[in-house]
Amino acid sequence: MLHPRDVGIILLLLVAECGAISQMGAQVGDCPSRCHCEEDGMLQRVDCSDLGLTGIPANLSVFTSYLRLAGNDLTHIPKGAFYGLFNLKVL
């Protein structure tokens, strides 16, 4: 049988986990300004082509798996520009 203190700890952990899942879900729908985004299952495809961009778009979701940047004015991609985009497979 669980001690009442243990029940409280378990409840606290469940609430914290639900909050983390909610935050993760919010990131899936994030789309950089002016870009077009499509859900691809749990991942996201981002098309930022032909927008005259001079830099990598900000606020890319950690769930970005595809990023199209063709037809922009990118002359330099800074080191670490794609840091944290572990799902990015196509650039």
Residue 81 lies in a domain: no
Q: Which residue has the tokens 């032909």?
A: 50
What is the number of domains present in the chain? Answer: 1
In a domain, 53, yes or no: yes
73 domain residue, yes or no: no
Question: Which domain range does residue 51 map to?
Answer: 4-68
What's the whole-number mean pLDDT along residues 15-28? 50
What confidence tens digit (pLDDT) does each residue in 36-55 have?
A: 999 999 999 999 999 999 99
In a domain, residue 57? The reply is: yes
Query: SS3 of 9, please?
Result: helix
- Global confidence as pTM: 0.68
Closest to 53 in 3D by CA, of 63, 68, 38: 68
In-domain check, residue 77 = no
